[in-house]
Structure 1
Amino acid sequence: MYDVIVVGAGSAGAALSARLSEDAGRRVLLLEAGRDWRSSEAPHALRSANIVPFMHDPRHQAEWQWPGLMTRRTRAQEPKFYWRGKTMGGSSTVNAQIAIRGVPEAFDTWAALGCTGWSAADVLPLFDAIEDDPVTGTGPGHRLGGPLPVYRAPLAEWGHVDRAKEDLNAPSGEGVSCYPINSRDGQRITTNDGYLEPARGRANFDIRGEALVDRVLFDGRRATGVRVRFDGGDWQDILAREVVLCAGAIHSPAILMRSGVGAAADLAALGIPVVRDTPAIGRGFMDHPILRATLALRQEAAAQSPDARHTNCCVTYSSGLAGGGERDMIMIGFNHPLRVGRRLKGRSGWRSTMPSRAARCGSPPPILPPTPSSRRTCWRTRATGCACATASGGLRPLSITPL
């Protein structure tokens, strides 16, 4: 029997399982639905500073992501692929590597609403602890020697406008800056690299890929293990004293609902015995709304190679709209050709603080239409960001597209 089973080896699960296994007396099992891989086996496209080709290549989507995971904002739209990592390292293998922290005021708001342990004073030291920042690591609010590298382009390479803020993660970080990323020597570093690779030799730590978890096993209301299938084989039960779900915002609720934890009426309709009636499970899914303005780009300003970083500079600011809070908007410039033969630049803006909840996301492919109130709020915020984007430098977008 294991002491702890951690389901999901992504940004949370990789870190948690590795830290738990530091206690040699604790047996830990990490289960990941996707493939296992060693740092030396990472393909070039995954390591590249430009993640755009990797994210959009159907071959990589099938091998490193959830190929059947689709979503749409309304039922009138065609479903689109929803990027989520399915491998050791999870979505840290497919994200933009951006290492911008949450706003301190937002954490304090959570604490004021009753989320004990989530104030800025509680959370910010944890951000410090995970960093390996060779530039500012010896200064306050940063660290040198943590598991994940934080890289910033050398100050001498910054443009005149980029120098407005040297550190977006400082308490007064609102403004324009080259932002930090999780990269070392020009290559992506995932949580598989930073946490799991150094821990793989521990006798008390088992790591299994291609492990699809169906449900959590219960004895009454106490979790006793998981039902899992390895490499497409038969289902089997593995017991543990504790089970921790780190399968992400989409798959953790789905596992819970298949386990009998969720809204009783929904579970009964699916023929699932109810372990606990918890209506909030599988509801309230949210993600950042994005609006992309596409601009013609001068040849000398474009990325000069396929592996050149696709985005480097951003501006964070407060929209001033109700429910927005501090620094609820981020505008990022892309300098990578988005289509073959057309050298275009995408300037994207998204809302980093969400004012409301969206629809339920259960086991089937999710449909995520916003509520009418959030739709009005999000589009009002998008319009504000679009006005700022087009006003800067008298820019005239070739297209404006919600994502």
Structure 2
Amino acid sequence: MQNLPDSVDVLIVGGGSAGCVLANRLSADPGRRVLLVEAGIDTPPGAVPEAIRDSYPMPLFHGDTYIWPGLDAAVTRGPDGQARRRPYEQGRVMGGSSSINVQSANRGLPRDYDAWAEAGCRGWAWDDVLPWFRRLETDLDCDGPLHGRAGPLPIRRLLEPVWPPFAHAAFRAFDASGLPRRLDQNGDFADGLFPPAFSNRDDARVSSAEAYLDVTVRARPNLAIAARTEVRALERAGRCVTGARLRLPDGTERVVAARRVVLCAGALQTPVLLLRAGIGPAEHLRACGIAVTADRPGVGANLRDHPALTIAQFLPPALRLEAHQRRASFLAMRYSSGLPGGSASDMYLTVSARAGWHALGARLGLHFLWVNQPHSVGSLRLDPTDPAGRPAIDLNLLSDPRDLARLADGVRRLVALAVSPHLNPDPAEIFPASFSPAIRRLSRVGRRNRLITAALARLLDGPRPFRRLMLRSFTGGRDFPRIVDDETALADYVRESVFGVWHASGTCRMGDRGDPGAVVDPAGSVIGIDGLTVADASVMPRLPSANTNIPTLMIAEKIADGLRAA
């Protein structure tokens, strides 16, 4: 960590996807002093852990080295109102969740951003944001007016000449959907089957930290980076934010003054900082014993995520990846449900040849299904009994029955396509993938788990009747193909198994300054507060039809440009 300055022009809170962009773009002006604060460890050039560089990311989700410890969320609620909770992994490391995610580089669709503009976010329609999508990327496969060729983030696809047998088999199986094969999900916006795009070069992850905080940027004398440093509170003078109180790695605290603070802590941490600063719903703040600085009811509201399910399938030996083949996802399917409450391209599916880092995972394909345009909305609140503690996060998935109906329909479609002679024709060898506590423990990288999973893998390769019994044990003894054919049983399964796909957004949504539910204006400035900007996924009015990392980078690029011009 560099020497911490006493005052700066811009203090950026959070070194995740957005924070790295802001640090790069704002410090490009040598006359602007910038401090980037990140709660997790730094990953400077030449010292990026191999686990982060790896194209296969799942081991990063276990332990608390790279994620916020103890963070969980209510996923759904039963008829009795009891919440079903599960861990909610969010990156706490330089690069944030771009250092631990699956590296999907998906923009979404033009209609997503046109809807933002129609909702009061002037300047955020598709034609407005396209220049920033182009600016952030170097697309290694696709060219033309929709793509960038000189941005910091490389985007690539695994194309047919280098496909392993699994990729050919998956595309042949899913050709039965009747959807055409397409090359470019970021430039061809119709439904279809695509090779997924990834933020990756030479089969290695490129996080926002690697893309935006290279050696040259880090050498700027006007940029300071403070890792393993937490923001404890925003400093204020009336309705003006004047800096932040930081807790340093040695446990001491310091106040750094700033002409402007930019929050890039993500959709679950940014609203917490606002609420603790007295910016949020007045009634909730008073219940927490916090003096009201600005009554903004939208802080912590509008929490959105894509409701998702995972389904595993036993793979014949000929379709399994070799250990050196790290990229495991080869097919993405964007389709329209055609159901009431649905819309064009309202569903999304990816197909992977590996369900875990170990020998057992190498024998299982993984199908990942989610609702691309969900209607359900959750919320985030402080705990009134402990406002300084962990927030109460309620994803409230499937609270809108249209999401449940589309996800259940998607399971039926998925099973019909995946149970195929091209992948595995045995319906008894496809089953729900559960992230139960036992599976999470088994997913920790270590010698003991390597030995256990190797033994289980050998058993799975044994006689078919024994394999069926073993797979059925993964489902709690339930016959999954029969569940799919039973409408009530399928709905129960979806409710019990749905989870958020780590795309939390919307908790400080953008909108017109006259909109009482808006938290920031179209420039990212917090309404009613001076000196404070938000520039992360929390400003999204609605989820894009995409993984959220690339849209978040676009948001950061656009807001950074506005701050540079101010």
Q: TM-score, normalised by structure 1?
A: 0.92
The one of 355, 360, 384 equivalent to 1:341 is 360
* Whole-angstrom distance in 2 between the partners of 1:218 and 1:203: 27
- Pair 278,28 (structure 1): closer, same or farther in 2 beyond 3 Å: same
Q: Which has the higher contact order (CA 8 A, sep 6+)?
A: 2
Is residue 321–residue 353 contact of structure 2 (8 Å, CA) maintained in 1?
yes
When structure 1 is superposed on structure 2, of 148-157 and 236-245 the one drifting more is: 148-157
More moved, 156-165 vs 141-150: 156-165
Q: Share of identical aligned residues, percent?
A: 35
2:242 to 216, 224, 228: 224
Identify which of 156, 162, 180 aligns with 1:157: 162
Match of 2:67 among 65, 69, 78: 65
**Does structure 1 conserve the Cα–Cα contact (< 8 Å) formed by 2:380 and 2:391?**
no
C-alpha displacement at 1:334, in angstroms?
1.6
CA drift at 1:129:
1.1
* Max Rg structure: 2
Q: Which moved more, 1:62-71 or 1:242-251?
A: 62-71
Q: Which residue of 2 aligns with 1:141?
A: 146
Using the TM superposition, give the Cα deviation of residue 10 of structure 1 relative to its aligned residue in structure 2, in angstroms. 0.7
Q: Which of 159, 174, 185 is matched with 2:202 structurally?
A: 185
Instruction: Label 1:40 to 1:330 Cα distance change in 2 as closer, same or farther (>3 A).
Output: same
1:25 and 1:204 in contact (8 A); partners too: yes
2:94 corresponds to = 88
Given the two structures, how large is their TM-score scaled by the length of structure 2? 0.67
1:232-271 paired onto structure 2 within 5 Å: 232-271=250-289
Q: Which moved more, 1:301-310 or 1:198-207?
A: 301-310
Which residue does the alignment assign to 2:28? 22
- Confirm whether residue 392 of structure 1 aligns to residue 417 of structure 2: yes
Instruction: Please tell me whether residue 5 in structure 1 is matched to residue 5 in structure 2.
Output: no
Residue number among 326, 351, 359 corresponding to 2:379 in the alignment: 359
Aligned partners of 1:282 and 1:361 also within 8 Å: yes
| Cα deviation 1:11-66 (Å, max 9, x = unaligned) | 1111012101111111111111111221311221111111112223x2xxx21111
CA distance in structure 2 between the aligned counterparts of 1:106 and 1:136, rounded to whole angstroms: 22
Indicate the larger mover: 220-229 or 325-334: 325-334
- Which has the higher mean CA deviation after the structures are superposed, 41-50 or 91-100? 41-50
Which residue in 1 is equivalent to 2:321? 303
1:202 corresponds to which letter in structure 2?
Answer: R
Structure 1: gaps spanning 5 or more residues: none
Residue 200 of structure 1: aligned partner: 218
3-state SS of paired residue (2:233): strand
Distance 2:432 2:259 in 1: 54
Deviations 1:289-318 (A, max 9, x none): 111122111112122116521212110112
Q: 1:32 to 1:235 in 2, by over 3 A?
A: same
Distance 1:186 1:369 in 2: 34
Larger CA deviation: 361-370 vs 311-320: 361-370
For residue 498 of structure 2, what is the aligned residue in structure 1? 402
389-398 vs 104-113, which deviates more? Answer: 389-398
Pair 323,122 (structure 1): closer, same or farther in 2 beyond 3 Å: farther
- Equivalent residue runs for 1:118-129 within 5 Å: 118-129=124-135
Give 1:73 shift. Answer: 1.3
Maintained 8 Å contact 2:113/2:126: yes
Is the partner of 1:331 in helix, strand or coil? strand
CA contact (8 A) 1:285 1:361 kept: no
Q: Is the 8 A contact 2:36 2:226 kept in 1?
A: yes
Q: What is the CA-CA distance between 1:166 and the residue it aligns to?
A: 1.1
| Counterpart check, 1:378 vs 2:403 | yes
Shift of the 303–53 alpha-carbon distance from structure 1 to 2, 3 Å rule, reads farther
Q: Cα deviations across residues 185-234 of structure 1 (Å, max 9, x unaligned)? A: 10000011010124101111111111111221111111111111111522
Output the CA distance in 1 between the equivalents of 2:298 and 2:235: 20
Which segment drifts farther, 149-158 or 320-329? Answer: 320-329
- Asked if the contact 1:224/1:239 (under 8 Å) is kept, the reply is yes
Distance change (3 Å), C-alpha of 1:250 and 1:168: same
- What secondary structure sits across from 1:192 in the alignment? helix
Partner of 1:55 in structure 2?
Answer: 61
User: Is the contact between residue 18 and residue 199 of structure 1 (CA under 8 Å) also seen in structure 2?
Assistant: yes
Could you tell me how far apart the structure 1 residues matched to 2:107 and 2:219 are? Answer: 31
Correspondence for 2:394: 368
Gaps of 5+ in 2: 1-6, 383-388, 421-426, 434-496, 500-566
Distance change (3 Å), C-alpha of 1:232 and 1:357: farther
Residue 235 of structure 1 and its aligned partner are, at CA, apart by 2.4
- Residue 254 of structure 1 and its aligned partner are, at CA, apart by 0.3
Any runs of at least 4 consecutive aligned residues in structure 1 with deviations exceeding 6 A, and if so which?
none
Aligned length: 397
Q: Offset at 1:340?
A: 4.6
Aligned to 1:214: 232
Tell whether the 8 Å contact from 2:235 to 2:242 is kept in structure 1 after alignment: yes
Match of 2:193 among 173, 176, 179: 176
- Structure-2 separation of matches of 1:304 and 1:2: 50
